[in-house]
């Protein structure tokens, strides 16, 4: 897969099967769109996922909106699924472009679009004036095929990034997993901590979650941890360590079962499978250890 950040860097001369959107989370609905362009790809037609990176817009508006997925995670999820990932910053130039201009200059002239797949609520162009009706209108002029893909449903409700964020914020990790099609995860580089867990006989790997990624509620989670491409069961605590720390920094501490190697400086991925209990402050370190042992025993009894 080739990664393109700036539009002018896309120099492919073959025709393209393109899907467009924000693709925050790459949930089941997004995956359906990706599969459609993949099905239309051939030696003569490349598959393109055109993702709008909304961070520049939020910065201009002074908003701090959390995402379900970092740019790196989107790349990793799509690698091998498409020929090109266009991670297009939603700059003033892009947001101010008239919808008709976007169709002509970007989709037709630059990407040589032969096939376009979008969701039913897709909007684009200045003030979101472009929609599926405009794309249908111009399909007859420019000769591309348009497919409008229906939303995926979960228990009768349309799957969307907004819906998934509601479930993540509520700590409903099993539901988020159903909507995404994979477990919600947080990644980071393993840092040195106080090594209190090691002293208690329950060593942990500590990571600082990406500041732009949506975090579920502070608390204890049943986890699956990816280290060097291998997966291990574990328990994680997401929070501020109120029993032993006072700096308020959000940390994800993970005790990985059946694992005893050093991982400092390595990047690990922690899948948050199930919320166990809220984070709380204990009266003593001994009380904390007792609760940790009880949590570990409970998680090991589960089938996740």
Cα 207 to Cα 210: distance, rounded to the nearest angstrom: 9
Angle, in degrees to the nearest 10, between helices 161-169 and 173-180: 160
pLDDT at 91: 85
Note whether 149 and 8 are same-domain residues: yes
pLDDT at 292: 87
Note whether 144 and 217 are same-domain residues: no
Cα 216 to Cα 166: distance, rounded to the nearest angstrom: 10
Provide mean pLDDT across the span 53-75: 82
* CATH number for 282: 2.40.30.30
Q: Are 20 and 125 in contact (CB under 8 A)?
A: no
- Among 24-33, 82-91, 145-154, 195-204, the range scoring the smallest mean pLDDT is 195-204
Last residue of a domain, one of 154, 173, 208: 154
The per-residue pLDDT for range 226-279, each reduced to its tens digit, is: 999 999 999 999 998 665 565 668 999 999 998 989 999 999 999 999 999 998
Asked whether the predicted pLDDT for residue 57 surpasses 60, the reply is: yes
Q: How confident is the model at residue 67 (pLDDT cuts 50, 70, 90)?
A: very high
- Cα 50 to Cα 17, 65, 82, 117: the distances in Å are 10, 21, 10, 11
Note whether 148 and 194 are same-domain residues: no
Note whether 226 and 279 are same-domain residues: yes
| Inside any domain, residue 174 | no
* CATH number for 102: 3.40.50.620
Number of residues written out for the chain = 304
Q: Which residues pair with 269 in a beta bridge?
A: 187, 226
| Inside any domain, residue 80 | yes
Q: Are 120 and 148 in contact (CB under 8 A)?
A: yes
Note whether 124 and 199 are same-domain residues: no
The per-residue pLDDT for range 140-149, each reduced to its tens digit, is: 999 999 999 9
pLDDT at 272: 98
Note whether 20 and 144 are same-domain residues: yes
At residue 236, the 3 state secondary structure works out as strand
Please, where are the H alpha helices in 6-145? 28-39, 55-61, 71-78, 92-95, 99-101, 132-142
Q: By CB neighbour count within 10 A (0-12 exposed, 13-18 middle, 19+ buried), where does 111 fall?
A: buried
Note whether 31 and 120 are same-domain residues: yes
Note whether 285 and 216 are same-domain residues: yes
Note whether 16 and 69 are same-domain residues: yes
Domain span at residue 116 reads 2-154
| Inside any domain, residue 159 | no
Of all residues in the chain, what percent carry a pLDDT higher than 90?
A: 75
Q: By CB neighbour count within 10 A (0-12 exposed, 13-18 middle, 19+ buried), where does 122 fall?
A: buried
Tokens 């893909």 sit at which residue? 149
Provide mean pLDDT across the span 204-220: 95
Q: Which residue has the higher pLDDT, 16 or 246?
A: 16
Provide mean pLDDT across the span 110-136: 96
pLDDT at 228: 95
The mean predicted confidence, pLDDT, of the chain is 92
Q: How confident is the model at residue 186 (pLDDT cuts 50, 70, 90)?
A: very high
pLDDT at 280: 85
pLDDT at 76: 95
E strand segments, 120-262: 145-149, 153-154, 157-158, 185-189, 205-207, 219-227, 230-239, 251-256
| Inside any domain, residue 167 | no
Tokens 């008239």 sit at which residue? 98
Provide mean pLDDT across the span 75-87: 96
Provide mean pLDDT across the span 192-201: 75
Domains of the chain: total? 2
């Amino acid at each position: 897969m080739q990664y393109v950040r700036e539009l002018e860097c896309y120099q492919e001369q073959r025709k393209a099967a393109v899907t467009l959107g924000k693709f925050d989370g790459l949930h089941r609905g997004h995956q359906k769109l990706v599969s459609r362009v993949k099905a239309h790809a051939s030696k003569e037609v490349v598959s393109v996922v055109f993702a709008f990176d909304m961070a520049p817009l939020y910065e201009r508006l002074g908003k701090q909106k959390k995402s379900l997925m970092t740019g790196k995670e989107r790349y990793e999820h799509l690698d091998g699924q498409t020929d090109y990932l266009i991670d297009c910053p939603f700059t003033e130039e892009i947001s101010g472009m008239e919808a008709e201009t976007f169709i002509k200059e970007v989709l037709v002239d630059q990407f040589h679009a032969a096939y376009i797949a979008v969701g039913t609520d897709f909007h684009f162009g200045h003030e979101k004036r472009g929609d599926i009706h405009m794309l249908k209108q111009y399909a007859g002029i420019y000769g591309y095929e348009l497919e409008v893909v229906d939303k995926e449903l979960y228990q009768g409700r349309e799957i969307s990034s907004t819906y998934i964020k509601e479930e993540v914020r509520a700590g409903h990790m099993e539901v988020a997993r159903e909507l995404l099609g994979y477990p919600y995860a947080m990644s980071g580089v393993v840092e040195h901590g106080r090594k209190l867990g090691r002293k208690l006989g329950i060593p942990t790997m500590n990571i600082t979650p990406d500041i732009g990624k949506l975090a579920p509620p502070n608390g204890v989670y049943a986890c699956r941890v990816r280290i060097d491409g291998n997966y291990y069961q574990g328990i994680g605590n997401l929070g501020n360590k109120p029993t032993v720390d006072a700096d308020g920094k959000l940390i994800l501490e993970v005790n990985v079962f059946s694992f005893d190697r050093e991982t400092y400086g390595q990047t690990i991925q922690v899948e948050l499978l199930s919320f166990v209990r809220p984070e709380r402050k204990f009266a003593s370190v001994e009380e904390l250890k007792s609760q940790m042992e009880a949590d570990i025993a409970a998680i090991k009894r589960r089938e996740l």
